[in-house]
Each structure stands twice: as C-alpha cells, then as structure tokens.
Structure 1
C-alpha cells in the first residue's frame, strides 16, 4: 500500500533505512542481553545464588514481554478487523469524546456512524481495515494505534515494577546491613573470653520489667494496654522500627528455638540469605497481578477518578502490615512479662506462628508483593500518560488528584524500603518454622544429595529383600539384629525430612 494512512510499506522503503534501523535495534538488544549475562556472572562469582535467580526471574519477565509484543504485533491487523456496533464503543470511556457535528435528531444509526466520531476512528487504522468495518456500518473493536499504546503500557509497567522492587530491596538491604554491628557486638560480648567471664560473674536474677526490651514494648495489662499496644506499634514503624534490644532479643529467641546447639549462629547472615530468597518471589509479576491490571484498566472510567482512590489501597495495606509486624514484637514482650516476674540471665522470647495472620507468616510477603506492584502500577500509569498523551490529557485527570497520588507513591516506596521490609526480614523469623536459608548454600546441596543417595539405597535394599523373601529365613538378616546400614538409613531419612521441612516451611510443625 502506497500513500495509505499508515505510510509507505517495506516494498517502497529505501534499503539503507531498513538496514540502519534493523542494526540499531539488534545492537541495543544484544547490548542488553550481554549486560544481563555479565551481571549474572558477577552474581555467580560472588556466590549470590538468590540474587542470580532473581535476575533469571527478570529475564523471564522480559521474555514474556517479548512474547506479548510479538503477539500484539502479529495480531494487530486481525484485531482491528473485529467489527462491533458503534453503540458498544460509546460506554465506559476514559475521556469524553470531542464535540461532534450537529446532526438531525431523526438521523439513523448509519448517519451516526458516518459522523465525526467514526471518522476519527477511521483515521486511526489502515484504510483497508476501516473500509472492511465501514462496509458493515460498524467500527473496529480496537484500533492499531490503541493496540500500540496498550503495548507500550504493558512494557512500562513491567520495567517500573522490576525497578521499584530492586530499589526497595537495595535500600532495605542497606538498612538491614547496618544491623551487622549489633551482631558483631553481641558475638563479642558472648564469645570473647574476657567478656564471657565478666558476664558470668555478673549473671543474676533480675526483674523482667528491668529489661530494655520489656520497657520499650510492655504497656501494662487489660484492654487499655491492648489498644495502647496497637497505637504504639503503629507509631513505632515510622521512627524506630527495629532497635538494638529488639534485634538482640529476637535473635536469641530464634537461636534458642532452632539452633540451641549452635550459640555462635550468625543470625544476621542467615536473615540476609532469607531476604534474598524471598526477593526472587517479589520481583516477578504473578498471574493474579495481571488480573488486577485488567480490573484497574476496566475501572478507568471518566469521572470515577479510579486511580486516585485505588492509590489508597497499597497505602493502607502498607500501614497495616507495618503495624502488624511491630505488634508481633509487642506480643513477644507481653508473653514474657505475663509469664515471668523475674528471670536469670538473658531474656528469651518464644517464636510462634500464632502471632501472625491466620498463623501464616507467608501472608506478609504476599501483601508486600501486592503493595509494591500496586504502587508500581500507579507510577507506571502516570509516566505512560505523561509521555504518551501529555500532562494536560483528560486521561491524566485533575491536578488535585495527581499530586496526592504521586505523594502517596513516594511515601510508600520510602516507608517500604526503610521500615516495612527490614521489619519483615527479622519479624517473620519469629514464626514456628525456619527457612531453608538456615543452611549454607553448599550444605544445602550436600545434604540434599546425600539424602537422595540414602533414599535410593534404601529402595534398592527393599527390592532385594522383597525378591529374596522366598529364599528362607537364612537369606535375610538375623531376627532382632539390624542390618549394618539401618542406622545410616534412618539418619538419612531424618536428614531428608529436615531438608524437606526447610524447603517447605508451611509444613513445619516446629519440632526440632
């Protein structure tokens, strides 16, 4: 088609233009691929497997975007040939249509279709396709230009979401790494010979209420104290989400519950590994999040100001999550204060899933994932409208709705990075179970491989015993006398169960 609404086709385009554009696109694509590959090598060399897996997740998202792009590009001509009555495209519009030409009140539907609104739609697609629908006295279901804009929006949404997740984990991780000095200080006090001798000489029975952790969180008994506890938890997330006494107490509670035989356990290092494991789950866009995208796009109707109201969803959710995590710490303090009057030595709290919503700490990670995605959606939609349609576009909305959305978006990003995510990293360790990050990377691989070999050996032995069952009692082991590898097999089963429990914390019943 020459001289049509879409311009010259490839048949009449100079070859040097095609070659230059193709070269630029290929060069940019290869540079991006090499950059991701190099980043993956760096993470592998630094033994950062969780972050490497998160990078793989990002690559999967980019591959999905590429498939979506290909699908939209290939099917755009087909989609633009879907013709519908004009009345169907006059409802649920993000913007009001421009003023149309005056028409006779007795005009037929065909006259309405030939009006200014339909002529504007005709100009958005190729003349052949428009002619296809015009002959049927209908309009295209979705124009080529609208498909192109939708394509760009999906791409911007994915990029902004990944970027925001990375920024959140980077800043939150920087906050958590500041706690390393607390870990080093505790290790020096507990394992340095001179310090240990001094602490043992000073070890005595003290009132529970003299401990700093109890002073900060225990607000008395009764209903009033419960209300004050929630208010204290709500406020504390803004100025001192985790103090040194919080860290030291929860660290000791975790070690005494899960690592009693290893008092030198590096809790801070374990917490970082666990956070990196969870990061690879947050960085992806799950199917249910795409469902939310469709719902939000559906509700973007002129006059509803939908994107202003839904901006408060992640805002209130974030405050609720932060308050709940702080309240878990308060509950730990109240449990000790209500059960003991005085204790000898250090104060020890008891981790339990009872403190979390529906006894599932994993719900907190799901909510953080949704909060980050929803906030990314808000910011991505703003920038997409700004670039695609300009700030004064009707779809952007009034300035009084835009400014609060941006302020809320920035507030969510900052609070989630510096308060909620660090709270999540430490407080979710106060559940009944522990995460598989408790094992070092090499130990995880070694235990899993060894357990699989033991299981395979046990299955082989069972097959041999079964096949030789008819050979008489002399062919098996002496009754009451266990075989030489029974002990190793039972140990292998126990280790396999341990690895399975670590890999599936939701099935962990807390037994050690």
Structure 2
C-alpha cells in the first residue's frame, strides 16, 4: 500500500495534490448542484403554496440523508468488517451464484465481481491484510472489499430509483385527476341551489347511469360476480363521469352541509398531495423487506422472479377493492330506494373498507411502490455492475417477465390506482384536513393559538386569585386581522362537525 511500487495501490501520501484537488472539486460541485436544486425546488413549492409537496420534498431529503448515512457507516467500518472471519463451510452456503471452483477461496471473494473489470479486482489488494489474517486461521473474510464497494453502489441506485418512481407516480396521478376537471367545471356551471333541488321531480333509481353501471341486481348471494366485475373494471373506465358526480355529491352532502359551490376536484388534488408525502418515505418495515429479499437471492431459487408478483398481486387486490367500494355504494342506494328526489346521493361510510380504515389502502400502495422500485433498482444495478449475462441476473425467461411486471405495476399504480384511491377514500366516514383551503388553515391555527393562550391565562388567574385576565400584547396587535379570518371561517360552508382523518 505504501510507496510508489509497481503493482501496489498508492495512498494519499504518494498521490499528486492536483489530482486530489480536482476529484474533490468535482464531487463537491456535484453535491452542491443537487443541494441547490432541491433548495430552489422547495422555494418554488412554497411560493406556489404547495405545502404538502414541500413536505414530501423534505421527506425525500431525509431519505437521501439516511441512505447517505448508511453508506458512510459502511465506509467507516469497512476495515473492521474485513477483519471479521467466518468458516469456509459457512461461506459456501446460500450463494447468489454457483461456485465453479470450491478449492479457491479467492474465487469466492470475487464471486460478486467475476463479471466486472480489473478495477474491481484491484480493490481486493486493499484488503490483503485482512485476507491474510483470515487465511492464517483457516477462514475467509465476512465481506470482501469488492462486495462492500458494490453494496455502496446498490444503496445509491436504490435511492435514485425510488425517488424517481415516486416523482413519476405523483406526476401521472395528478395528470389523471386533472383530466376530471372538466367534469367539475360542468357541474359548477349548473349553479343550482337547495330550493331548485327540492323542486326536482322524483326519478326511478334504475334510471340513473351510476346505478345501471355499478349495480348488478344480484343481491348478496352471488357476490362473486360483483367482485369479478370490480376486478375487470379497474382496467378500463375505472372512474366515469357518473361515478365522479355521484360520489362528489355524497361527499358534499355528508361533510360540507350540501354546499354546491364546494370545489371537490381541488380538494382531491390537495388530498393527493398530502398523501404523497407518506408514499415517498422508506419506513422501517420496508427495510425489513429489503433484508429479506437480499437473503432469498440464492442460486436456483429464482426468488426475485417470484417476489416480483407480490406488488402486482397487491395492486390488483387494491384496485379490485376500491372498485368494489363504488359498487357497494350503488347497491346500498338501489336496495333502500326505488325512487329518489333530485340527484342520486350515496352515503359515505368506513364500513366499506378493510378493517373500517381507508388509510390501510394507502399503506398497501406504499408497499407496492417501494417493492416495485426495489425490484427494478436491483435489475439496473446488476445490469450496470455485472452485465446482463451475470449469473445473478438469472435466465432470460425469468428476466423479461420481471421487467414487464415492473413497468405494468408502475404505470397502473400511478395512472389508475392512485387516482382511484384519491376519490374512493373520500367515501369514508371522516374527512381529511385538506378539505380546508390554506387561508382557513391559518385562521384555525390563529384561533387555536389564542384560545390556548386565553385558557392558560384564566388558569393562572384562578391559581393566583386574581380577578383580571392578563392580555397578551401580541393578541392586541393582531386584533385587527382576526375578524377577517374569523369571518372566513364562519362563512366557509365546509367547516363542520365530523372528525378529520
């Protein structure tokens, strides 16, 4: 390692200073460019008052920092890991690739890099001391320097792919929901009031397109046909104009006191943005999935081929369930009423969802997106690092279906399932805080702050026996602004009793 010997690797003692300066400059410049890009993106989102997306960006920064810290730990403890030795018997168990020569310990150490260039092999020279240490004991290192280096690269690839796929998800889902805007505009143009609705004549339930499309009239004895229809419905016209109109009215009548001017479309956009920040993160249970997937990558098992079906099957189950919720809403109305007065109104309820909790659907979508990102990230990593012909990659007959499933899951989840989730989960018993506009949030925050201050002041006065209530000077200075905000709150018809989700 020392000196300028012919075949030996040189350290910083014998590396030209201009080389070190140039390399550091490039790395620092790239890092600062990424940091500035995230910074200005955050400023743009704050300027546009996209608070949920800004919080999602902060979540992305946290995930990048976490993955960077994991990579740093691997670097710091690299030498320590190299000094840990295990028996040769254990080193031959559960290998991703079949060993060609069992008598060569060095071949096992390079099994992860057998298809790479000579640059990866030179990394082993840096761990020669630890290798000699293990050889003296008749053992092999726990993890070679090359394998550790490639693990660094995989963590980086996983972070990039996951963040990229999350961005694509929100872009495709938002694009799909914005296509429904003309439905909202058409409804708003009617400009009907409650008196006009009361004057509307009675109509047969079966005459409504929502009932004809969603209610099969088979009762509860043949529920299998209802589930079968829900399964195929998610692939074509998952949400129609009649679905949107009926569920919009059901939400407004239940949570907004029948306010016809409530913009349901804007509310769905805000709700989707708020849910996106929960989809971006890599939670602890997702890291458990990563460890399990890496553990099962054994030669001959084709584990990654079978694992690729998990997000696909989960996606089909989620889409089918969401479509079935719409069918249940139609069935409830059709079974309870033979005729309705005015527009058809459905009754939102948490009972239609798994365990009476609509948020479970978002949890499953989170798992689907991460597992799919992990699958494709692992494919790209193996392809770039070891080539397409690597034994870790597997046979072509297993690779092509994995890629097709991965692309299909990403497209369906982004363009179909997420928009379907955004509207169907509004059919729960509770509403999300995104129902309020940003200025209403600010007004409620000011009101809550002042209420808390007054309560604390009254408590202090009671304890001290004082007959006067202290007044906060900030409260006095803000008194001119409060009536406007309070008026906004009082005149906003969306504010009412139900508890938020």
What interval of TM-score do these two structures reach, taking the shorter chain for normalisation? 0.7 to 0.9
Change (3 A) 1:184 1:504: closer
SS of 2:203's equivalent?
strand
Aligned in 2, Cα 1:285/1:403: closer, same or farther, shift over 3 Å? same
Distance 1:502 1:355 in 2: 18
- The reply on whether 1:149 has 2:146 as its aligned counterpart is no
- With 333-342 and 446-455 compared, the bigger mean Cα shift is at 446-455
How many Å separate the matches in 2 of 1:227 and 1:405? 30
Aligned counterparts of 1:219 and 1:226: Cα–Cα separation in 2: 10
Matches of residues 224-263 of structure 1 in structure 2 within 5 Å?
Answer: 225-260=222-257, 262-263=259-260
Q: Distance in 1 between matches of 2:294 and 2:93?
A: 14
The offset of 1:137, in angstroms, is: 2.0
Shift of 1:400: 0.4
Structure 1 residue 120 displacement after superposition: 8.0
1:259 & 1:358 partners in 2: Cα distance? 25
Name the CA distance, whole Å, in 1 between partners of 2:206 and 2:383.
56
2:360 corresponds to 1:363: yes
What is the alpha-carbon distance in structure 2 between the residues aligned to residue 53 and residue 268 of structure 1? Answer: 21
Q: For 1:99 and 1:221, how far apart are their aligned partners in 2?
A: 65
Deviation at 1:41, TM superposition (A): 1.1
Q: Which residue of 2 aligns with 1:286?
A: 283
Q: What residue is the counterpart of 1:268 in the other structure? A: 265
Alignment equivalent of 1:79, drawn from 77, 81, 106? 81
Match of 1:10 in 2: 12
Aligned counterpart in structure 1 of residue 90 of structure 2, from 88, 91, 95: 88
Question: Does the 8 Å contact 1:175/1:418 carry over to 2?
Answer: yes
Question: Equivalents in 1 of 2:197, 2:84: separation in Å?
Answer: 82
More divergent stretch after superposition (216-225 vs 283-292): 216-225
Question: Is 1:162 matched with 2:163?
Answer: yes
- In structure 2, the CA distance between the partners of 1:282 and 1:453, relative to structure 1 (3 Å rule), is same
| Cα pair distance change 1:37/1:256, threshold 3 Å | same
- Counterpart of 1:441? 438
**Counterpart for residue 183 of structure 2:** 182
Structure 2 residue ranges without an equivalent (≥5): 113-120, 470-482
Q: Deviation at 1:263?
A: 2.5
Give secondary structure in 2 for the equivalent of 1:139.
strand
Instruction: Classify the secondary structure of the residue corresponding to 2:138.
Output: coil
Residues 214/386 of structure 1: CA separation in 2 closer, same or farther (3 Å cut):
same
Report the TM-score when normalising by structure 1. Answer: 0.86
Question: Which of structures 1 and 2 has the bigger CA Rg?
Answer: 1
Tell me the residue number matched to 2:32. 30
Provide closer, same or farther for how the CA distance between residues 465 and 396 of structure 1 changes in structure 2, counting only shifts above 3 A.
same
| 1:448 Cα offset (Å) | 2.1
1:277 to 246, 252, 274: 274
Query: 1:373: which partner in 2?
Result: 370
Gap runs ≥5 in structure 1: 102-111, 470-474, 478-487, 506-512
Say yes or no: does 1:328 pair with 2:304: no
Q: Secondary structure at the match of 2:340?
A: strand
Matched-pair contact (CA < 8 Å) for 1:6–1:126: no
Q: Which moved more, 1:37-46 or 1:239-248?
A: 37-46
Change (3 A) 1:116 1:379: closer
